[in-house]
Amino acid sequence: MINEIKTDAEQRMKKSLESLTTAFAKIRTGRAHPSILDGVSVDYYGTPTPLSQVANVNVEDARTLSIQPWERSMIQAIEKAIMTSDLGLNPSTAGTVIRVPMPALTEETRKNFIRQARSEAENGKIAIRNIRRDANGSVKDLLKEKEITEDEERRAEDDIQKLTDKYVAEADTLLAAKEKDLMQV
**CATH number, domain with residue 15:** 1.10.132.20
C-alpha span between 46 and 77 (Å, rounded): 11
Per-residue confidence (pLDDT) for residue 41, from 0 to 100:
87
Same structural domain for residues 132 and 163? yes
Reduced to 3 states, what is the DSSP secondary structure of residue 32?
coil
Reduced to 3 states, what is the DSSP secondary structure of residue 83?
helix
Question: What is the DSSP secondary structure assignment for residue 85, as one 8-state letter?
Answer: S
Domain containing residue 84: 34-101
Using a 10 angstrom Cβ sphere, with 0-12 exposed, 13-18 middle and 19 or more buried, the burial of residue 137 is exposed
Same structural domain for residues 146 and 159? yes
Same structural domain for residues 58 and 86? yes
CA distances from 141 to 64, 148, 153 (A): 55, 10, 10
C-alpha span between 101 and 99 (Å, rounded): 6
Domain boundary pick from 55, 86, 101: 101
Count of domains for the chain: 2
| Low pLDDT (below 50) residues in the chain | none
Domain boundary pick from 101, 121, 139: 101
Helices 150-183, 2-26: crossing angle, 10 deg rounding: 10
